[in-house]
Amino acid sequence: MSELKGACIFGQSGGPTSVINASAYGVIRAALDNPNITRVLGAEHGIKGVLNDRLFDMGQEDPAELELLKYTPSSALGSCRYKIADPDVDDTDYKRILEIFKKYDVRYFFYNGGNDSMDTCNKISKYMQKVGYECRVMGVPKTIDNDLFGTDHCPGFASAAKYIATSCMEVYQDARVYDTGMVCIIEIMGRHAGWLAGAAALATAYGAGPDLVYLPEVDFDMDRFLADVDRIYKEKGNCMVAVSEGIHYADGAFVSEAKTSATDGFGHAQLGGLASLLAEAVKQKTGAKVRGIELSLLQRCGAHLASETDIEESFMSGKAAVENAAAGITDKMVGFERSYEGDRYVCKTKLLNLTDVANTEKKVPLEWINEEHNGVKQEFISYALPLIQGEPKLPKQDSLPRFAKLKKVLVK
Amino acid sequence: MSELKGACIFGQSGGPTSVINASAYGVIRAALDNPNITRVLGAEHGIKGVLNDRLFDMGQEDPAELELLKYTPSSALGSCRYKIADPDVDDTDYKRILEIFKKYDVRYFFYNGGNDSMDTCNKISKYMQKVGYECRVMGVPKTIDNDLFGTDHCPGFASAAKYIATSCMEVYQDARVYDTGMVCIIEIMGRHAGWLAGAAALATAYGAGPDLVYLPEVDFDMDRFLADVDRIYKEKGNCMVAVSEGIHYADGAFVSEAKTSATDGFGHAQLGGLASLLAEAVKQKTGAKVRGIELSLLQRCGAHLASETDIEESFMSGKAAVENAAAGITDKMVGFERSYEGDRYVCKTKLLNLTDVANTEKKVPLEWINEEHNGVKQEFISYALPLIQGEPKLPKQDSLPRFAKLKKVLVK
């Protein structure tokens, strides 16, 4: 393949994860070490940093601090949720990006994110091809939602899954200490795909998890839900429920947004989230003591519970993006392929067309959800379990996390 | 001291903690090993287990499973919130307890809990003395709230504090990734004492924590709070707040229960908690993007983030209760005394009169709270930091927690 010398830009986009910085470190480290990449620039707040000419010179960072990125949650360079226009409708942003690329002789662009970010990446790649500016563009996957097309799984999912499963196991111990019983409802992220809510069932597989799990892949039925909870509560004296934030009724309306008897009949804004809403509905139905717990941001930044497998794979995906680009590849997203050597799980990178990945969602297969639509089957557990393995050696200072401290020196 | 042979009963009471079972293991292990203690009985659901004659024979447990109690959160024997009567008004329960004590020749009673539980313990002790039944009664402290009188700190506090500080540090990374800014409000347990909310400031001391911390020791002023948040949000573009669930207005009304402009004007039940309520108030005032996070049960059962210091001290307090009782002591609660050997923190047990401890609350000293009433001073940090040190070696199975599995064999 042709040798291409020039600078690279790396950016982070979309909701952060516990390990997105491990991917960042994979890109940055490999780019700094690559003889064809003359300068490694980090974009502040993703593509916005390119548009605003806010670029950090990653070569000026202390190598030891850069390495700490492997264990530092969230997007160290800043993220964005910037929807780039269709270039046929409005090419203003693209012209500006080209201008910046030329200004710094950028020949490599690495973008780390989910569906929308891969769309951005794809559009930029196609634009550069169209205007004949030679630049190799690679997507690096990221999303706790695990919903990227064409890859076995996504960096970030496993660490969130491990956080969710572990937290469920702990709450399980707590939510049954009194002889008076309790119904505990745990709200988990995932607007359209139920991978994360399903991960709560890992706790159940190890003897201390939710009795019921509801995913957005199937329609939610409030009456059936209340009957399920009531039955288990009467049977066991306790009931634990994991629920995806994205569950919806048959008509498509999100349960979190719909009015039920549990919500304010005057239609005022409901301040509490889905967990509170369902807890209140259960309380009215069963009279049980209830508790709604929203895992909120904690589940996507809980680096102290990250999966070492996830960290290593995230790093690997970033590194693979650079190595492939340097070898002449462009217009791809790095994905994962799973295989087994005997019982041993093995993960290798593969390359996917950006066009195929952009804006496509991968959901939990319906055949992995049980007939009653209130749990997942063993196939799901077997899929998720290898991904959460391994304890990272998190650097600590006085028993608190020691996160990376970057200098973030802007290039002139 | 006089030798006293007989069985012992151990019970757990009140809200659980991450390390209450480490105290249980301290009591059970020391009691099983003590030649004067003929049988070790665990009460199901605290004093209720005594009243209901539901007692487990701890000698029948697998020693390795018992040892796992050190790392198993929540009350393994079950807990209760049972308010025992004043024996001068109604001695029914006491007569029943005496009957059970006689039935099993119980000469040692160990009760693990907070203020209310020490009151129960004290009343039982005084009753047994009054009726001339020889029984040594010892309280073992427990409470994440850290509000027990006479002891430097309480088992359970440090692990919750570490969970809170670590979670704040992680959320801090997440809650500032976008250039659009955000106000994030974290709700922390502590109805009357602000020790736990104060622990969030440990995160700030290590560079990634709340800008503002509100404790229940001082009156809350909504206007000042909103002005504080607004100022910091304008200054930094982000603002992180830690707030104790027990904050109250000058008239004593809990903020969580009071009506503000953010709540439903029709006076309907507010399903969301304090964090949601304050987040909504901030949103109305500043227009900022807001996020309320309630740490809920997670903070008191997050054993994976326990402090090894806390685990060892919890174990030590249980063991000390048995050893002191066996040596002839009765009617005391085990407490902690802190000293320093050079810079090294040292913790030793001491004994407190149950009468002094029962129903007394220890709050955060006002001189440790800043003048603006929106933060804690260095004295608080210096107090809390030694307590959270050390990482426990948590047993895992397939990278998920391996908690104790007890047989719980009822005695006949």
Check A298 against B171: CB less than 8 A apart: yes
Q: Which of A50, A187, A400, A406 should we substitute to test contact with B (largest number of B Cβ atoms within 10 Å)?
A: A400
Nearest to B354 by CA among B393, B321, B397: B321
Question: Rounded distance, CA B146 to CA B156, Å?
Answer: 8
Give residue B107's identity as a one-letter amino acid code. R
pLDDT of residue A1: 55
Contacts of B268 in chain A (CB under 8 A): 264-266, 268
pLDDT of residue A272: 57
**Owner of token pair 């070492």:** A308
Q: What are phi and psi of B138, to 5 degrees?
A: -135, 135
B69: closest chain A residue by CA: A173
Check A169 against B400: CB less than 8 A apart: yes
Q: Which residue from A170, A269, A403 is facing B301, i.e. has the nearest CB?
A: A170
Strand partners, B110: B10, B138
Strand partners, B292: B185
Nearest to A31 by CA among A14, A52, A6: A6
Check B79 against A177: CB less than 8 A apart: yes
Question: Rounded distance, CA B251 to CA B54, Å?
Answer: 45
Question: Rounded distance, CA B345 to CA A64, Å?
Answer: 31
- Residue B353 CB-half CA count within 13 A: 3
Q: Are B288 and B176 in contact (CB under 8 A)?
A: no
In angstroms, the separation between the Cα of residue A156 and the nearest Cα of chain B is 14
CA atoms A100, B182, A62, A306: torsion sign: negative
Active site residues per annotation of A = 145
pLDDT of residue B267: 41
Give residue A62's identity as a one-letter amino acid code. D
Q: Which of A173, A260, A383, A389 should we substitute to test contact with B (largest number of B Cβ atoms within 10 Å)?
A: A173
Contacts of B269 in chain A (CB under 8 A): 280
Check A262 against B268: CB less than 8 A apart: no
* Of B145, B147, B211, B228, catalytic: B145
Q: Are B184 and B291 in contact (CB under 8 A)?
A: yes
Question: Rounded distance, CA A185 to CA A10, Å?
Answer: 39
DSSP letters spanning A166-192: HHHHHHHHHTT-STT-EEEEEEE--SS
- Residue B16, class by beta-carbon neighbours within 10 Å (0-12 exposed, 13-18 middle, 19+ buried)? buried
Record the tokens describing residue B302, joined without a space.
Answer: 């997050």
Q: Are strands A344-353 and A332-341 parallel, antiparallel or unpaired?
A: antiparallel
Nearest to B75 by CA among B115, B32, B44: B44
Strand partners, B190: none
Q: What is the mean pLDDT of each run of 10 residues along chain B (412 residues)?
A: 90 97 98 98 98 98 98 97 94 98 98 94 97 98 96 98 98 95 96 97 98 98 98 96 97 83 42 85 94 97 98 98 98 98 97 90 97 98 98 96 98 90
pLDDT of residue A338: 98
CB pairs under 8 A between A and B: 200
> How far, CA to CA in Å, does B309 sit from each of A88, A202, A327, A399, B315?
63, 30, 52, 11, 10
Q: Are A28 and A40 in contact (CB under 8 A)?
A: yes
Which positions of chain A have pLDDT values less than 50? 260-271
Q: Are B8 and B100 in contact (CB under 8 A)?
A: no
Question: Rounded distance, CA B41 to CA B106, Å?
Answer: 9
To the nearest 10 degrees (0 to 180), the angle between helices B195-205 and B157-174 is 50
Nearest to B225 by CA among B11, B372, B329, B76: B372
A301: closest chain B residue by CA: B170
Q: Are A226 and A285 in contact (CB under 8 A)?
A: yes
Q: What is the DSSP letter of A327?
A: T
pLDDT of residue B259: 56
Nearest to B198 by CA among B364, B10, B12, B28: B364
Check A45 against B179: CB less than 8 A apart: yes
Question: Rounded distance, CA B295 to CA B190, Å?
Answer: 11
In this predicted model, what pLDDT tens digit does every residue of A58-94 receive, in sequence order?
Answer: 999 999 999 999 999 999 999 999 999 999 999 999 9
Q: Which residue from A78, A279, A291 is facing B179, i.e. has the nearest CB?
A: A78
Record the tokens describing residue B69, joined without a space.
Answer: 């109690």
Question: Rounded distance, CA A159 to CA A390, Å?
Answer: 10
CA atoms B15, B19, B23, B25: torsion sign: positive
Check A166 against B297: CB less than 8 A apart: no
pLDDT of residue B2: 73
Q: What is the DSSP letter of B406?
A: -
Strand partners, A397: A400
**Owner of token pair 């407490």:** B335
Record the tokens describing residue A29, joined without a space.
Answer: 């480290």
Question: Rounded distance, CA B25 to CA B63, Å?
Answer: 10
Q: What are phi and psi of A257, to 5 degrees?
A: -105, -15
Question: Rounded distance, CA A1 to CA B153, Å?
Answer: 66
Give residue A17's identity as a one-letter amino acid code. T
Chain centroid offset of residue B203 CA: 20
